Amino acid sequence: MKKETEARVIVFTSEAEMPMMPASVASTLYNKTGSWRYMRPLYKNQTPPCNAACPAGEDIVMHLQLTAQGRYAEAWETLVRENPFPGVCGRVCPHPCESECNREYLGGAIAIHCQERFLADYAAAHHLSLPTTNVPQREEQIAVIGAGPAGLSCAYHLRRMGYQVTVFEAGEKPGGMMRLIPEYRLPKEVLEREIAAIIALGVEVKTGMRLGVDLALKDLQGYAAVFLAIGQSVSRRLDVPGEDAVGVLHGIDFLARVERGQKVDLGKKVAVIGGGNTAMDAARTARRLGADVTILYRRSRAEMPAIDEEVHETLDEGVKIEFLRAPVAVLTANGRVRGLRLTRIELGAPDASGRRRPVPVAGSEYELEFDTVIPALGQVADLTFLSAEVQTERGRIITDEKTATTRLPIFAGGDAATGFGTVTAAVGSGKRAALAIDSFLRGVERPFPDLAQNVQVAPRPHDPNVVRFEDLNTAYFEEIPRPPQDQRPAAQRVTTFQEVNLGYGEDVALAEARRCFSCGTCNECDNCLIFCPDVAVLRGPSDDEPFVFNYDYCKGCGICVSECPRRAILFAEEIKFNDQ
Amino acid sequence: MREPKTYARNYEIPEEELTYSGSVSCPGCGATLAMRYALKALGSNTITVIPACCWSIIAGPFPYSSLTVPIFHTAFETAGAVSSGISAALDVLGKKDITVMAWAGDGGTFDIGLQALSGAVERNEDFIYVCYDNEAYMNTGIQRSSATPWMAWTTTTPVEHPKEEPKKDIVAIMAAHRIPYAATATIAYPEDMIAKFRKAKGIRGSKFIHVLSPCPPGWKSEASDSIKLTRLAVQSKVFPLYEIEHGDKVTINVWPKDGGVPVKEYLRLQGRFRHLSEEAIAAIQAEVDRNWERLVVRAQRVMGNE
Amino acid sequence: MRKVVTGNYAVSWGAKLARAQVIAAYPITPQTSIIEKLASFCANGEMDARFIKVESEHSAMAACIGASAVGARAFTATSGQGLLLMHEVVHWAAGARLPIVMGVVNRAIAPGWSIWTEQNDTLSQRDTGWIQFYCETNQEVLDTTIQAFKIAEKVFLPAMIVLDAFVLSHTSEAVDIPEQAEVDAFLPPYRPPLKLDPEDPRAFGALVLPGEYMELRYKMQKAMEQALSVAEEVDREWGERFGRSWGLVEPYRLDDAELALVTSGTVTGTSREVVDALREEGVKIGLLKVRLFRPFPHQIIREMLAGVRKVAVIDRNISFGDSGVFAQEVRAALYHADKRPPVFDFVAGLGGRDIVPETIREIVDYTVTHDAPTEEFTWVGVKI
Amino acid sequence: MIEIRIHGRGGQGAVIASEVLADAVFQEGKYVQSFPAFGVERRGAPVTAFTRINDKPIRIRTQIYTPDHIMVLDPTLLEVVDVTAGLKDGAWILINSAKPPHTFTFPDRYRVATVDANAIAVKYHLGPRNAPIINTAILGAFARLTGIVSLETLCNAVRAAVPINPEGNVAAVKEAYEQVIGDGQ
């Protein structure tokens, strides 16, 4: 009797057909024990918390898994399928993904941003081109207004779908706010490379074309769709006396001048007002220009919107931060800044943002001397050029979850529409617009999640349930600490604009990727295959389907479900499947 | 079949399946999984001997078999002797490359079959004797055996009067025969188990492998917990993974992580221990700790001598 | 080669000449010298066999079962208590259709301890599916041992050669020990069609559901029935090759007999003396020796005893609550005969009590003086 | 038919003696049967063994109750065992003893002989000095007395049966054959 593959039921019709002793003539495959099952395991990837948290909709787990296998190029391709700015985001994103990472409990969250940067740098070092798509070219012309991260992301994705895209940019160069991120945090070379790669796909960028000045919306009527990604370019004012004095320089203006290589005379003592990333950028830039810098922030450390690491680096570089302080006046002498009158602040009840409202402490005012004051309180969009048909609300363009404005085929995204001011959010917004424009133009219905969630160009089939730490089988994971990223020493940093963070080398990146739990995503660890008592888990036909259940025999014991380290198997009542 | 990936967790486990689906083991049966590993380790040139036990049924009714290797079903107490006969016959017939594996439950090993087993290993017959231990007579519906742990419930040791005697130390008994190889193994540690079966296969003479095999109906545990339970058995030191060569050289193969977990973690997942008082759990913990320390001392003595 | 050997050594020589390949045995008086001799044959290389010195008779049979299942020719020997301990696996060997051959020295059952002869040990294996031969002389023991392998391997049922404790087991007499080559020509190597073999992996002896069990038992019974003609044929072939045949039963001076003794084992020899003596005295008496007890040769016995006026069975055994076992079988065989002679049953010689010619005369006298039995059986020589 | 009974103690080789005698007689073309008393042997305890000799096949399978001759391997047995039980008239009673036959008192219907088998066994180093093995020597004496078997055949049978020091045993057989003293001879 050789090894059998088919299920044979043996029916003896006479004693003569039987062996003389009870000897087997077939296998137990005849016995379809699948009928015993009342719970059914299902291979269905569940949502990793990092993926759910990524504003750009990156498939983080997948690129980590590919990195873990040393398949860097594929990992990078996975990354850029969703986000054409991994080099930028890997450096500047506040990485909400890491905040959700389940690894936090066993050695610290995966350094996802470092992994992203590693892949981008790897691609650059190996001169990898953005992967081409084999889609037919489409006739439709699309206009994108604004070559910031939202506009370029939208243009990139549309182009990959075969559309003809023209990007109109008000500035001299594409990049938008990304250009204002200081060199020591985001080397221009990285930005230029990623923008150039998008342009190389066939995206046309027309610079020096400001909407409302150089062209009007009605000029774009020849385009099948328009995507407004105009960004927030107008700095918020301090609204205190003396604000217009010489020596008051708004953060983005300051950064823009530095970026353009213009000389900025800051004097000796500089005050930066604000607690966001622009405030940090301004303070650290000023520090590099030789100033003695103090950041004044009206709330406490806990409320600071700037990325944590960023705050640390700022402090390391000798910038002072004064919390619970707010300016009440810019002190001037001869039309020039000489200092600030400040008030101490107490935190009151939470406001609309959920943060505690700053309340000035009566009688606590005092004065400090400064040569330059740099307010960095954030920006708002300039929406004055919009016609009434494109409705706005509280400084933002109104869109639905498909990024459609009230005037089709005009779509809008980026912070001018969403208010989310990060590059990553803008990238996600532009991608959402590209997908929406595509489905609009093709007349195809496509579901879009609400704007708080991300969208993906190439989503893997998955269950929306987000995997939490308690869902994992931690027996299979060791506690391994997160490796630190190399940095230039602070003393050296303040003398140069060279990049502060040095990223991960390959060894560290590989090890770090292997530290990923791969939450909710099968990484072919083989546990289900190995622990099945009934040989009812088989290797699947392809990488996309690494294992299959043999439901003819699976008894539904659930060992595969509980021994899956990463909750990539669902367990559902069999009754749901009996009708199918 | 696709090539297995090796990046995520490097299981050094052969792909070939030598057990068939369709066996009538209960869902989550540890003994069924144990056989799967055992045969993966030993390969197809193996003859199995199965005395009365759950596996008499799991192996399939006439005219079916759930194994791709020959099986000889035999009487409850005869695994040691039948295997001796098979081994001797293979030897005299010149078939010296076939592995003989006796596969018996705890009843057939600790109790009714102990004499034949002792006789066979004392003669150092060339075979591997495996006791898949589910800690009671499960095939007859959960009666106590001498492998049943202290204070456990079975149908013959009801909760009003749970088992009063500690579990018999079968590996010590085997080691006392000075056989070349005696080891423990369990299903949560497939690589350790497979390595042990392979090692046993390479040794001439009597080899004994004691495999802890959860029985969800008999332990009153969740079918899906079978691996978890044996992992906890090892991590709590209730069932340490070790081997004893020539009755003397003790090696601990898996050291509990971070000093181990309390036995309570293991006990609480099993309904057969639900009636245990805190005092009883403390007593079990103390006994487990004592046994573990003894084992460690023996293992260290070996390490010290080398 | 003619040699003076004990009955036990005749068994050993039989197993040696049959080229038994695996021997598993456990010592028990009065079987011990069988296995001592075999151990010595194995040790000095006269036999190419593996001798497993098991720790019990149960394991002896179990080991033989394992060996036979692999396709080796397996042999064991035991006696009395040992056979009883073995009982479960005695059934197993037959059910597994393994042609194991076993020498059994009939020994009475404890308590109290008895090492002397009596047939209750082997007769309590009556329904196990084993072929059973009861032997009278050492030559018959040797010949039957070799024949048993051939019969067993043709019908795939195990076989026992039974010999009386001491009266045969420890009694030396001249035995013709055939040449190995002649035995080899008679008994080819064992080649079962189904065996434990990784090249043809099968499960043997699994759970059999009610839908198939009866058919397997039917096959066993058919094989047993076939064993009758096979045994006859094998014995005939033996006779042709070696000049000696033993028959399934042996009639002695039965042709014109009015009274037939039915005997088995060594009591037959002594009975022959008595028959001869009585014939000289003018008594029309004959004897029927039952050599093959399982399968029971009903038809032949019916034919042989058809013309006899009375039958007297000597039973060295007792089925408590009934009678001697041979008498039961003879009565049952005669039930379907046209003319049914009365069957007297005499239980004698239990626990090794010597059955001397006077005992047999007593039996004959009783039978002659009674028209029909007045009880199920008659105790002989018991102090009552 | 001749029936012979041998009395000895466990360990003296009475059973072997009965077998060797049977084998020797068989070599000369007779039918033989030999057997021990059916029981448990214990070293030092009295044992008996039997040999039947006939010109035609021996079919009877009982113990021997009326022997034609007896051998007594140890004279101390005479104190504890009724060695002449059932013994036929005219039988030889062969005793292993250094004393002459007349020192033993038996009814006149028996013939008595002695041989100092102990001394012979010690001389030929048969067994330990304190427990010499005399079964072969006594057979030599018995052959001489009864003429049941020739000395030569007996020597051959002894050679075949004795694994250790066969020639010493053969010498003992021969010496006993020569030295046996028979009552009335």
Q: What is the tens place of the pLDDT at every residue in D65-96?
A: 999 999 999 999 999 999 999 999 999 999 99
Mean pLDDT of A378-392: 87
What are chain D's partners, defined as 3 or more CB pairs within 8 angstroms? C
Chains A and C touch (3+ CB pairs under 8 A): yes
B positions 97-136 inside 8 Å of C (CB): 98, 115-116, 118-120, 122-123, 125
Architecture of domain A2-46+522-576: 2-Layer Sandwich (3.30)
Beta-carbon contacts below 8 Å between B and C: 169
- C267 domain residue, yes or no: yes
- B102 domain residue, yes or no: yes
Per-residue pLDDT at B11: 75
CATH 1.10.1060 fits A55-130+466-514, yes or no: yes
Residues in chain D whose Cβ is within 8 Å of chain C: 18-19, 22-23, 26, 31-36, 38-40, 58-63, 65
Work out the pLDDT band at A5, boundaries 50, 70, 90. Answer: confident
| Ranges of each domain in chain D | 2-182
Name the residue with tokens 């320390």: B293
Work out the pLDDT band at A420, boundaries 50, 70, 90. Answer: confident
State yes or no: cis peptide before B158, omega within 30 of 0. Answer: no
Provide Rg for chain C, Cα atoms: 20
Per-residue pLDDT at B7: 44
Per-residue pLDDT at C246: 97
Checking if the pLDDT of A81 tops 60, the result is: yes
Are C172 and D34 an interchain contact pair (Cβ–Cβ within 8 Å)?
yes
Per-residue pLDDT at B2: 58
Is residue C269 located within the same domain as residue C289? yes
Q: Is C199 on the interface with A (CB under 8 A)?
A: no
Work out the pLDDT band at D164, boundaries 50, 70, 90. Answer: confident
Give, for D3, the enclosing helix (H) or strand (E): strand D2-9
- B13 domain residue, yes or no: no
Are B81 and C59 an interchain contact pair (Cβ–Cβ within 8 Å)?
yes
C216 Cα to chain A: minimum distance (Å) = 7
Mean pLDDT of A125-134: 91
Q: Tell me the C-alpha distance between A520 and A518, whole Å.
A: 6
Characterize the bridge pairing of strands A366-369 and A336-350.
antiparallel
Instruction: Output the domain CATH number for residue C282.
Output: 3.40.50.920
Please, are residues D74 and D9 in contact by the beta-carbon 8 Å criterion?
yes
- B17 domain residue, yes or no: no
Q: Which residues of A touch B25 (CB under 8 A)?
A: 533-534
Q: Which residues of C touch B87 (CB under 8 A)?
A: 66
State yes or no: cis peptide before B107, omega within 30 of 0. Answer: no
Residues 6+ apart with CB under 8 A from A185: A91, A92, A281, A499, A500, A501
Per-residue pLDDT at B6: 47
Closest of D140, D164, D7 to residue D79, by C-alpha: D7
Q: Is B227 on the interface with A (CB under 8 A)?
A: yes
Mean pLDDT of C55-73: 98
DSSP classification of residue B107: I
Residue C330: domain span: 249-379
Is residue C15 located within the same domain as residue C72? yes
Q: Which residues of D touch C272 (CB under 8 A)?
A: 59
Residues A231-256 have pLDDT tens digits of: 998 899 999 999 999 999 999 999 99
Q: Is C356 on the interface with A (CB under 8 A)?
A: no
Checking if the pLDDT of D42 tops 80, the result is: no
C positions 299-318 inside 8 Å of A (CB): none
C105 Cα to chain B: minimum distance (Å) = 22
Q: Is B64 on the interface with A (CB under 8 A)?
A: yes
User: Residues B257, B260, B262, CA angle at the centre, nearest 5°?
Assistant: 150
Closest of A544, A400, A427, A446 to residue A58, by C-alpha: A427
B6 Cα to chain A: minimum distance (Å) = 8
Name the residue with tokens 């009754």: A575
User: Residues B93, B98, B104, CA angle at the centre, nearest 5°?
Assistant: 115
Q: Is B72 on the interface with C (CB under 8 A)?
A: yes
Closest of A206, B126, A433 to residue C50, by C-alpha: B126
Please, are residues A256 and A262 in contact by the beta-carbon 8 Å criterion?
no
Q: Tell me the C-alpha distance between A333 and A339, whole Å.
A: 9
Helical residues (DSSP H) of chain B, grouped into ranges:
30-42, 54-58, 79-92, 106, 114-122, 170-176, 190-201, 216-219, 226-235, 263-267, 278-305
Q: Which residues of A touch C208 (CB under 8 A)?
A: 22
Total number of domains constituting chain B: 1
Give me the residue from C24, C54, C198 closest to B98, CB to CB: C198
* Same fold: A55-130+466-514 with A141-177+192-233+388-442: no
| Dihedral angle sign, alpha carbons of residues B130, B134, B136, B141 | negative
Tokens of C226: 């076939």
| Cα separations in angstroms, C212 against A29, A348, B52, B272, D70 | 19, 86, 20, 38, 65
B137 Cα to chain C: minimum distance (Å) = 18
Residues A393-407 have pLDDT tens digits of: 988 999 999 999 999
Among C242, C261, C287, the domain-final residue is C242
Residues A251-300 have pLDDT tens digits of: 999 999 999 999 999 999 999 999 999 999 999 999 999 999 999 999 99
Residues B78-137 have pLDDT tens digits of: 999 999 999 999 999 999 999 999 999 999 999 999 999 999 999 999 999 999 999 999
Name the residue with tokens 């036959």: D101
Q: Which residues of B touch C58 (CB under 8 A)?
A: 77-78, 81, 116
Is residue C307 located within the same domain as residue C167? no
Checking if the pLDDT of C174 tops 90, the result is: yes
Chains A and B touch (3+ CB pairs under 8 A): yes
Helical residues (DSSP H) of A242-368, grouped into ranges:
251-259, 277-288, 308-316
Instruction: Output the domain CATH number for residue B267.
Output: 3.40.50.970
Closest of B48, B129, B47 to residue B96, by C-alpha: B47
Among C242, C268, C296, the domain-final residue is C242
What are chain A's partners, defined as 3 or more CB pairs within 8 angstroms? B, C
CATH 3.40.50.300 fits A236-380, yes or no: no
Checking if the pLDDT of C240 tops 60, the result is: yes
ipTM: 0.91
State yes or no: cis peptide before C30, omega within 30 of 0. Answer: yes
Q: Tell me the C-alpha distance between C60 and C58, whole Å.
A: 5
Are C352 and D38 an interchain contact pair (Cβ–Cβ within 8 Å)?
yes
- B269 domain residue, yes or no: yes
Nearest CA in chain A to B216: A557
Are B64 and C206 an interchain contact pair (Cβ–Cβ within 8 Å)?
yes
Q: Is A18 on the interface with C (CB under 8 A)?
A: yes
Q: Which of D15, D58, D61, D65 to mutate to test the interface with C (most CBs of C within 10 A)?
A: D61
Per-residue pLDDT at D118: 94
Q: Which of A39, A71, A514, A535 to mutate to test the interface with B (most CBs of B within 10 A)?
A: A535
Q: Which of B82, B97, B201 to mutate to test the interface with C (most CBs of C within 10 A)?
A: B82
**In one letter, which amino acid is D52?**
R
A560 Cα to chain C: minimum distance (Å) = 29
Q: Which residues of C touch A19 (CB under 8 A)?
A: 194
Give me the residue from C201, C204, C223 closest to A22, CB to CB: C204
- B265 domain residue, yes or no: yes
Give me the residue from A23, A525, A550 closest to B21, CB to CB: A550
| Cα separations in angstroms, D136 against D68, D160, D170, D176 | 20, 12, 8, 9
**In one letter, which amino acid is D170?**
V
Per-residue pLDDT at B4: 54
Q: Is A26 on the interface with C (CB under 8 A)?
A: no
Residues 6+ apart with CB under 8 A from D153: D24, D25, D27, D28
Please, are residues A158 and A438 in contact by the beta-carbon 8 Å criterion?
yes
Is residue C347 located within the same domain as residue C292? yes
The percentage of chain D sitting over the pLDDT mark of 70, rounded to a whole number, equals 98
Are C173 and D32 an interchain contact pair (Cβ–Cβ within 8 Å)?
yes
Is residue C233 located within the same domain as residue C257? no
Are C204 and B98 an interchain contact pair (Cβ–Cβ within 8 Å)?
no
| Lowest mean pLDDT segment, chosen from A346-360, A506-520, A528-542, D129-143 | A346-360
Give me the residue from B4, B33, B60 closest to A533, CB to CB: B33
Per-residue pLDDT at C138: 98
Work out the pLDDT band at D107, boundaries 50, 70, 90. Answer: very high
Per-residue pLDDT at B8: 44
Nearest CA in chain B to C88: B75
For A364-400, b where at least 16 C-beta lie within 10 A, e where not — what string?
eeeebebbbbbbbbbbbbbbebbeeebebeeebbebe
- Residue B19's CB: how many other CB atoms inside 10 A? 26
Note the residue count of chain C. 384
Please, are residues A329 and A340 in contact by the beta-carbon 8 Å criterion?
yes
Q: CATH says A141-177+192-233+388-442 is which class?
A: alpha beta
Work out the pLDDT band at A313, boundaries 50, 70, 90. Answer: very high
Mean pLDDT by 10 residues, chain B (306 residues): 51 90 96 98 97 97 97 98 98 97 98 98 98 97 97 96 96 98 97 97 98 98 98 98 96 95 98 97 97 95 65
End-to-end CA distance of chain D: 25
Instruction: Identify which has the larger pLDDT, A467 or A390.
Output: A467
Residues C96-106 have pLDDT tens digits of: 999 999 999 99
Per-residue pLDDT at A349: 87
Give me the residue from B7, B20, B222 closest to A69, CB to CB: B7
Provide the strand spans (E) within chain C. Answer: 2-6, 22-24, 50-52, 74-79, 101-106, 131-134, 159-164, 172-176, 203-204, 249-252, 259-263, 285-290, 292-294, 310-315, 343-347, 378-379
Total number of domains constituting chain C: 2
Give me the residue from A15, A18, A21 closest to C204, CB to CB: A21
Mean pLDDT of C161-173: 97
Name the residue with tokens 């020192």: D103
B165 Cα to chain C: minimum distance (Å) = 28
Give me the residue from C2, C115, C355 closest to D62, CB to CB: C355
| Ranges of each domain in chain A | 2-46+522-576, 55-130+466-514, 141-177+192-233+388-442, 236-380
Q: Tell me the C-alpha distance between D15 and D8, whole Å.
A: 9
pTM (two decimals): 0.91
Per-residue pLDDT at B5: 54
Per-residue pLDDT at C320: 97
Q: How many Cα atoms sit within 13 Å of A542 on the Cβ side?
A: 1
Provide Rg for chain A, Cα atoms: 29
Provide Rg for chain B, Cα atoms: 19
Nearest CA in chain B to C191: B93
Q: CATH says D2-182 is which class?
A: alpha beta
> Helices H, strands E: what count in chain A?
18, 24
Q: Tell me the C-alpha distance between C61 and A87, whole Å.
A: 78
Q: Is B24 on the interface with A (CB under 8 A)?
A: yes
Q: Tell me the C-alpha distance between A114 and C183, whole Å.
A: 86
Nearest CA in chain B to A29: B22
Mean pLDDT of A33-43: 95
Give me the residue from A68, A533, A557 closest to B36, CB to CB: A533
β-bridge partners, A269: A292
A25 Cα to chain C: minimum distance (Å) = 7
